[in-house]
């Protein structure tokens, strides 16, 4: 089966920066071939999932204010259907780690992530969440949120502009559009050893 | 006026023509069930979309516009996603009650939804005590909310459930009294008869002052019944994260979400039926030509137009007012709405007894 | 009466340093008695503990107190120290100034100094199982790897107190009984404005007690500063209170400029003042938005943000940043103002005046808002001073604590503006103070915007700045209170110790007092109107 | 026919929930971790049990509601025929109604309507 290109409305495939990564991902996922029917169902599921990414209201510092600006009138993330920010992790689809994660916060964040239902995505927003940012050398800062949980999209910036948020979110949408759910790929009901 | 019962009896006749009556009735029941389900889902989706667009409009935003034309597919995507989201099983919860709660909530809203007369001859459940039944059915929802909050074994949900318990049952009283006021005017509890009785003028005009007061009381109390702002205490996001359904994920949460919007529609639908004439067109006595034109518009259009008008009113209120505190909510109910609706009831009785209504 | 003489009269062995502020070094054993006299004597009345800084002087550990009198306006710096690095113990001053409660816990957390008679000697910012004291010069970070286990929260706390015979005894105080209904509000909670955690003991809806837990965003900025050059430290100030980034940076620049004896040009003073006031409007608009959101009025939130974007546009044109601007530098500002700056600011002010009326129409005048805010969460004037709750919160309690009036800096001495003071001390007063301050800020900007003098926007500084040896303190009126910077320099290119007086810490330490007996919903209203920013508390 | 429709509505409601949950269970991805099933409390483990004695002022209102709602139930049948009963119906119900109002006034006076 040929590699499908994730389509995002009003932004060309070529305009995104890191298509190689996604193409590699598709090639890996499609290595064993896909059943046509299940492939179509996957497309349908991914359409629903990618267009309805509800973020968890989680902000530790500066990036949180930009996240609020993102939801506010000028940038209006409701256009993409992101506006249903849920305060409970049980109802959220993705966690936007806006701001520095400290040693004390790390287990809390991990717990929140653990309590989210599958499928769940993580977006690391801002320098601090990506790598520790300006506080990399501090004794109390986690150098990058990827040390404690898998990250899907990194949005650099200190804080990133709302446009950068959008770019990151659309990247996440593109990534979600490529996933495969049927065939029991994602079932991990037992504890991993 | 188009009578939907013609259609249903025609279908019945057609079916009994080539199959035994028992089977025909069974088939009809299945069709009705599927219709309820479809209408329920479609209405919820329309309402959610409407809410998002309306609030965006109030807030100088655009609202959903990327998924589908004008964002029309947005809610489908949301519902679809919720449908395929993991449902978390809690460790320390009361399993049975935890799983029972969404059934209760959905049952309450579907039962009360089925009572609404959408068109002439198009009411699914039409008891002669319809109003009474609707109030009884809708209060099953409180049980669902209490169960949800209690069984989750979470402190936020527990407080949320307690709050909603106190709030919803309190406001049920005002809803009851204001509808009772209208029952005094119409002299019947059956929804179809209430609508029939408004052929010569909507109740809100017929009952003038007390009807208007009852309408306002009903709107306030109904808004509180549906847990919507400014009475959205039970789920008060900025206080209790997500209130009684904090621990519900995926479709479990989806049911609460759908039921919330459907309850909004039911409250508006009852308001439209009892106060604004339901599917009855707008008639002005004397202007026969005008009335005839109005009659051309089908009943269900009238019904939905009126119901959605009330929905819009309630949304307007929600997106304008800040949230009340729990003691203020109960004070508003017990010290203002209950006495007002009691005296309003007496006023209405006086008017009816002395024939002062139109 | 000379304060120096007075101190010598009480403690004859006190030593003085005459450079900058009057600094007295007091032996530890007579410190508490002196502090008590200074606070209670009629002619000194040092009733405001501005800042309490822990110090590690290598040989000794100690504390620096900045005191101020709200009656006379005079200030003094007191130092006390102990040579015992294994078990350092100093007398607590929590009985005199309640602001010391949290500050002493902070010092304990960072330096391990235990305060005798402070009833709550727990760590404030770090995990309870943290090893060592990070701000000591001999701290070893390898002992503290990232711990991913859930933190165990103790329900008890230690107190070191003197019994009747004068012996030190350890006492255990209970914070929460076993049967109390304790709910965590935060760290991840939409209404705590960041990652603050309140452990709340509830009785029904009523709050019996609140224990704030800080440190979820403690980034160790003060420790990092000790290995950064002065211009480098500036980068981190913006990230303290990101809604007062100009003002925070202004304070640090001012402090270093004062130490170096640098005179900045009048143009810089004008620009800094205008930027500070724009930042204040920005912050207060955000306050309005968030207060509305927390009280459930979502639509007003969007209106506030809509107008805030306009300020961000102005900032962006000149500084290149929306939230974090990195604009002030030592000796000036980073770049000259944008050619359209004056025009944009004037347009914005003309735009904002009618908009403010709209705000009052949609939110302030609402009956529900009055019901939710009036008479709720009262902070008395005495408590406000004792806790050191400056800014809008203090002014709402009737305490005229505006640094711009008390210690005028930049252009504030020359412009005409009113200090907004309300006497009710409740949520509504706190809300109204900030809404009125927007008007005053606009007035200040209007007076300055047309007369920005020509001149340099920067004084040429040496690439490596060495601040002369000594202690320096400067403070500005940040968006939410007095923001102070304390620098101890040993003549290197790095500061020896750099401490920020947080504007939010006093507010959080007062929250238990304010919310006693209130309801959960009131906690949200109180939190919203106190208007703290958590990264500023945790630093 | 109406009671049949009632049964149909009940079955529909149950079927809706069952069907949706079935689909969700069938195709939703799942994962396991030890913290997932624990109670959510802003990311901090819960202290003690949630099902503990909890002083609520809410129950007072529940009891008041019960009283008034039962009385409303009695009023409903009367309300449908009050127009035909005329003044007699009005006067006879006034006694009942008076008790109702007295009850509310008593509760008000006693402070039962105050939030504690």
Kindly report, residue by residue over B89-106, the tens digit of the pLDDT.
888 878 888 888 888 888
Distance from CA of A72 to the nearest CA of C (A): 5
**Does residue D39 sit at the A interface (CB-CB below 8 Å)?**
no
DSSP states of B30-41: HHHHHHHHHHHH
Tally of residues, chain D: 116
**Does residue B36 sit at the D interface (CB-CB below 8 Å)?**
yes
Q: Residue C26's pLDDT band (boundaries 50, 70, 90)?
A: confident
Chain B partners within 8 Å of A80 (Cβ): 64, 66-67
Q: Residue A10's pLDDT band (boundaries 50, 70, 90)?
A: low
A5 pLDDT higher than 70: no
Backbone dihedral angles phi then psi of residue A51, each to the nearest 5 degrees = -95, 0
Rounded to the nearest integer, the mean pLDDT of chain B is 83
- CATH 3.30.460.80 residue window(s) in chain C: 3-175
Q: How much is the pLDDT for D116?
A: 65
**Does residue B153 sit at the C interface (CB-CB below 8 Å)?**
no
pLDDT, tens digit (0-9, with 9 covering 90-100), for C299-330? 888 888 888 888 888 888 888 888 888 888 88
**Does residue C321 sit at the D interface (CB-CB below 8 Å)?**
no
A184 pLDDT higher than 50: no
Summarize the confidence of residues B321-334 as an average pLDDT: 84
Backbone dihedral angles phi then psi of residue A125, each to the nearest 5 degrees = -110, 125
Q: How much is the pLDDT for B118?
A: 80
Q: List the single best residue of C125, C196, C218 to mutate versus A (max A Cβ within 10 A).
A: C218
Question: Inter-chain contact B241–A87, Cβ cutoff 8 Å?
Answer: yes
**Does residue D7 sit at the C interface (CB-CB below 8 Å)?**
no
3-state secondary structure of C15: strand
Beta bridge partners of A45: none
Of C91, C13, C75, nearest to C38 (Cα)?
A: C75
pLDDT, tens digit (0-9, with 9 covering 90-100), for B237-276? 566 777 788 888 888 888 888 888 888 888 898 888 888 8
pLDDT, tens digit (0-9, with 9 covering 90-100), for B170-201? 888 888 888 888 888 888 888 888 888 887 77
Q: List the single best residue of A59, A110, A118 to mutate versus D (max D Cβ within 10 A).
A: A118
Q: How much is the pLDDT for A32?
A: 66
State yes or no: cis peptide before B3, omega within 30 of 0.
no
Structural domain boundaries in chain D: 10-110
Q: Residue C414's pLDDT band (boundaries 50, 70, 90)?
A: confident
Q: How much is the pLDDT for D26?
A: 79
**Do residues C327 and C246 touch, judged by C-beta distance below 8 A?**
yes
Summarize the confidence of residues C133-141 as an average pLDDT: 83
**Do residues C183 and B239 touch, judged by C-beta distance below 8 A?**
no
Name the closest residue on chain D to residue C155, using Cα atoms: D47
Least-confidence region, from A173-177, C158-162, C535-539 = C158-162
Q: How much is the pLDDT for A193?
A: 42
Chain A partners within 8 Å of B89 (Cβ): none
**Higher pLDDT pick, B103 / D36:** B103
Name the closest residue on chain A to residue C145, using Cα atoms: A103
140-169 in chain A: CB under 8 A from chain C: 140-142, 147-148, 158-159, 161
- Rounded Cα–Cα distance for residues C118 and C98 (Å): 10
Question: Inter-chain contact D29–A118, Cβ cutoff 8 Å?
Answer: yes
Question: Inter-chain contact C179–D53, Cβ cutoff 8 Å?
Answer: yes
Q: Residue B165's pLDDT band (boundaries 50, 70, 90)?
A: confident
Dihedral (Cα; C134, C139, C144, C146), 10-degree rounding: 60
C465 pLDDT higher than 60: yes
Q: Residue D114's pLDDT band (boundaries 50, 70, 90)?
A: confident
Q: Residue C1's pLDDT band (boundaries 50, 70, 90)?
A: low
- CATH 1.10.645.10 residue window(s) in chain C: 221-538
Q: How much is the pLDDT for B287?
A: 73
Pick the CATH number of D10-110 from 1.20.120.80, 1.20.58.1610, 3.40.50.170, 3.30.390.10: 1.20.58.1610
Residue C375, token pair as written in the block: 């008479």
Pick the CATH number of A55-169 from 3.40.50.12280, 3.20.20.70, 3.40.50.720, 3.40.50.1970: 3.40.50.12280
pLDDT, tens digit (0-9, with 9 covering 90-100), for B24-61? 778 878 888 888 888 888 888 888 888 888 888 888 88
Dihedral (Cα; A160, A163, A169, A170), 10-degree rounding: -140
Instruction: Evaluate whether the domain defined by C221-538 bears CATH number 1.10.645.10.
Output: yes
Least-confidence region, from A82-86, C221-225, C257-261, C448-452 = A82-86
B64 pLDDT higher than 80: yes
Q: How much is the pLDDT for A1?
A: 43
- Rounded Cα–Cα distance for residues C375 and D68 (Å): 33
- Rounded Cα–Cα distance for residues A14 and D24 (Å): 36
Question: Inter-chain contact A117–B248, Cβ cutoff 8 Å?
Answer: no
Whole-number percent of chain C with pLDDT over 70 = 99
Whole-number percent of chain B with pLDDT over 90 = 0
**Does residue C368 sit at the B interface (CB-CB below 8 Å)?**
yes
Pick the CATH number of C3-175 from 3.40.50.300, 3.30.460.80, 3.40.50.970, 3.20.20.70: 3.30.460.80
- What's the DSSP call for residue C364? I
Q: Residue A186's pLDDT band (boundaries 50, 70, 90)?
A: low
Rounded to the nearest integer, the mean pLDDT of chain C is 84
pLDDT, tens digit (0-9, with 9 covering 90-100), for C169-227? 777 777 787 778 888 887 888 777 778 888 888 887 788 888 888 888 888 888 888 88
Q: List the single best residue of A7, A46, A91 to mutate versus B (max B Cβ within 10 A).
A: A91
Name the closest residue on chain A to residue C322, using Cα atoms: A161
Chain D partners within 8 Å of B121 (Cβ): none
Q: How much is the pLDDT for B4?
A: 72
**Does residue C29 sit at the B interface (CB-CB below 8 Å)?**
no
Structural domain boundaries in chain A: 55-169
- Rounded Cα–Cα distance for residues C513 and C383 (Å): 9
Other Cβ atoms closer than 10 A to D19: 11
Question: Inter-chain contact D29–A119, Cβ cutoff 8 Å?
Answer: yes
Beta bridge partners of C61: C56, C82
* Chains contacting chain D through 3 or more C-beta pairs under 8 A: A, B, C
- What's the DSSP call for residue B234? G
Name the closest residue on chain A to residue B65, using Cα atoms: A79
Q: Residue A77's pLDDT band (boundaries 50, 70, 90)?
A: confident
Beta bridge partners of A125: A98, A155
Q: How much is the pLDDT for B1?
A: 61
Distance of alpha carbon D16 from the chain centroid: 23
- Rounded Cα–Cα distance for residues C77 and C53 (Å): 11
Of C33, C136, C117, C135, nearest to C78 (Cα)?
A: C33
């Amino acid at each position: 089966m040929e590699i499908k290109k994730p389509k995002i409305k009003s932004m060309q495939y070529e305009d995104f920066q890191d298509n190689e990564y996604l193409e590699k991902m598709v090639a890996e996922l499609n290595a064993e071939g896909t059943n046509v029917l299940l492939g179509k169902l996957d497309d349908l599921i991914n359409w629903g999932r990618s267009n309805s990414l509800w973020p968890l209201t989680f902000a530790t510092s500066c990036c949180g204010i930009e996240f609020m600006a993102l939801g506010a009138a000028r940038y209006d993330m409701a256009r993409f259907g992101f506006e249903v920010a849920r305060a409970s992790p049980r109802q959220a689809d993705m966690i936007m780690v806006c701001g520095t994660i400290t040693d004390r916060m790390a287990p809390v964040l991990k717990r929140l992530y653990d309590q989210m239902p599958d499928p769940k995505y993580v977006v690391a927003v801002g320098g601090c969440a990506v790598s520790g940012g300006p506080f990399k050398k501090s004794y109390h800062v986690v150098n990058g949120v990827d040390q404690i949980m898998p990250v899907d999209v990194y949005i650099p910036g200190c804080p990133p502009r709302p446009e950068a948020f959008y770019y990151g979110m659309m990247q996440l949408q593109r990534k979600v559009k490529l996933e495969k759910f049927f065939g029991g790929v994602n079932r991990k009901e037992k504890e991993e050893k | 006026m188009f009578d939907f019962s013609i259609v249903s009896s025609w279908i019945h006749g057609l079916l009994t023509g080539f199959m035994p009556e028992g089977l025909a009735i069974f088939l009809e029941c299945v069709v009705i069930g599927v219709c309820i389900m479809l209408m329920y889902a479609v209405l919820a989706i329309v309402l959610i979309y409407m809410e998002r667009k309306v609030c965006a409009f109030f807030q100088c935003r655009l609202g959903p516009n990327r998924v589908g034309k004008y964002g029309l597919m947005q809610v489908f995507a949301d519902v679809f996603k919720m449908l395929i989201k993991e449902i978390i099983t809690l460790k320390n919860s009361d399993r049975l009650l935890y799983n029972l709660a969404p059934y209760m909530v959905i049952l309450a809203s579907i039962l009360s939804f089925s009572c609404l007369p959408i068109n002439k001859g198009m009411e699914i459940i039409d008891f002669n005590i319809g109003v009474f039944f609707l109030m009884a059915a809708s209060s099953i929802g409180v049980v669902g909310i209490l169960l949800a909050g209690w069984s989750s074994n979470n402190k936020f949900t527990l407080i949320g459930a307690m709050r909603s318990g106190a709030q919803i049952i309190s406001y049920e009283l005002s809803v009851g009294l204001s509808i009772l006021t209208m029952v005094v005017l119409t002299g019947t509890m059956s929804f179809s008869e209430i609508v029939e009785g408004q052929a010569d003028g909507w109740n809100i005009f017929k009952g003038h002052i007390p009807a208007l007061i009852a309408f306002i009381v009903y709107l306030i109390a109904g808004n509180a019944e549906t847990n919507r702002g400014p009475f959205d205490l039970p789920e008060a996001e900025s206080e209790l994260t997500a209130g009684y359904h904090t621990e519900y994920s995926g479709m479990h949460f989806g049911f609460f979400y759908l039921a919330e919007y459907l309850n909004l529609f039911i409250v508006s639908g009852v308001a439209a039926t009892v106060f604004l004439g339901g599917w009855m067109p707008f008639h002005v006595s004397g202007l026969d030509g005008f009335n005839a034109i109005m009659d051309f518009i089908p009943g269900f259009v009238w019904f939905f137009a009126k119901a959605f008008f009330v929905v819009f009113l309630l949304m307007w209120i929600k997106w304008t007012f800040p949230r009340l505190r729990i003691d203020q909510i109960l004070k508003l109910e017990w010290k203002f709405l209950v006495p007002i609706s009691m005296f309003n009831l007496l006023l209405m009785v006086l008017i009816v007894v002395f024939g002062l209504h139109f | 009466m000379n304060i120096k003489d007075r101190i010598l009269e009480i403690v004859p062995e006190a030593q003085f340093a005459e450079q900058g502020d009057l600094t007295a070094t007091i032996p530890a054993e007579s410190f508490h008695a002196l502090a008590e006299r200074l606070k209670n004597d009629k002619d000194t009345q040092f009733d405001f503990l501005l800042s309490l800084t822990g110090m590690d002087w290598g040989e000794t550990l100690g504390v620096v107190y900045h005191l101020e009198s709200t009656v006379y306006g005079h200030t003094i710096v007191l130092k006390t120290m102990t040579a015992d690095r294994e078990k350092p113990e100093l007398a607590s001053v929590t009985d005199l100034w309640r602001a010391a409660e949290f500050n002493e816990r902070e010092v304990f957390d960072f330096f391990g100094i235990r305060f005798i008679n402070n009833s709550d000697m727990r760590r404030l910012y770090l995990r309870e199982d943290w090893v060592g004291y990070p701000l000591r010069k001999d701290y070893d970070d390898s002992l503290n790897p990232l711990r991913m286990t859930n933190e165990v929260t103790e329900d008890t706390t230690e107190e070191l107190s003197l019994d009747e015979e004068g012996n030190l005894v350890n006492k255990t105080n209970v914070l929460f009984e076993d049967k109390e209904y304790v709910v965590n509000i935060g760290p991840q909670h939409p209404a705590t404005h960041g990652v603050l955690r309140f452990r709340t003991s509830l009785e029904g809806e009523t709050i019996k007690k609140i224990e704030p837990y800080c440190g979820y965003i403690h980034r160790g900025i003060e420790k990092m500063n000790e290995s950064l050059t002065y211009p480098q430290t500036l980068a981190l100030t913006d990230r303290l209170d990101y809604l007062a980034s100009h003002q925070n940076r202004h304070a640090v620049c001012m402090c270093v400029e004062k130490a170096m004896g640098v005179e900045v040009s009048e143009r810089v003073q004008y620009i800094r003042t205008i930027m500070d006031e724009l930042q204040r409007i920005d912050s207060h608009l955000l306050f309005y938005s968030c207060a509305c959101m927390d009280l459930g009025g979502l639509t007003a939130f969007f209106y506030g943000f809509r107008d805030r974007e306009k300020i961000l546009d102005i900032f962006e044109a000149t500084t290149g940043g929306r939230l974090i601007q990195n604009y002030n530098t030592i000796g000036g500002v980073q770049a000259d103002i944008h050619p359209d700056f004056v025009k944009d600011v004037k347009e914005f002010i003309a735009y904002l005046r009618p908009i403010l009326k709209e705000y009052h129409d949609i939110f302030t005048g609402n009956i529900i808002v009055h019901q939710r805010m009036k008479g709720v969460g009262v902070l008395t004037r005495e408590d406000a001073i004792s806790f050191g709750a400056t800014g809008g919160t203090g002014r709402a309690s009737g305490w005229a604590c505006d640094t711009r009036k008390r210690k005028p800096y930049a252009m504030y001495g020359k412009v005409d503006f009113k200090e907004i003071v309300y006497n009710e001390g409740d949520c509504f007063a706190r809300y109204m103070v900030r809404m009125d301050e927007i008007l005053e800020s606009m007035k200040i900007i209007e007076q300055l915007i047309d007369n920005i003098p020509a001149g340099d926007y920067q004084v040429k500084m040496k690439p490596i700045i060495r601040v002369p040896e000594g202690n320096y303190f400067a403070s500005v009126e940040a968006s939410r209170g007095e923001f102070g910077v304390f620098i101890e320099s040993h003549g290197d290119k790095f500061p020896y110790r750099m401490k920020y007086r947080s504007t939010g810490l006093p507010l959080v330490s007062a929250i238990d007092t304010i919310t006693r007996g209130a309801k959960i919903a009131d906690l949200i209203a109180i939190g919203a109107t106190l208007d703290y920013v958590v990264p500023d508390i945790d630093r | 026919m109406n009671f049949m429709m009632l049964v149909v509505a009940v079955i529909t409601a149950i079927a809706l929930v069952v069907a949706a949950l079935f689909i969700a269970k069938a195709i939703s991805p799942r994962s396991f971790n030890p913290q997932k099933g624990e109670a959510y409390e802003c990311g901090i483990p819960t202290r003690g049990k949630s099902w503990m004695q909890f002083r609520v002022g809410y129950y007072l209102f529940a009891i008041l509601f019960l009283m008034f709602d039962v009385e409303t139930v009695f009023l409903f049948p009367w309300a449908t025929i009050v127009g035909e009963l005329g003044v007699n119906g009005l006067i006879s119900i006034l006694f009942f109604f008076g008790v109702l109002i007295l009850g509310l006034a008593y509760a008000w006076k006693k402070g039962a309507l105050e939030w504690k």
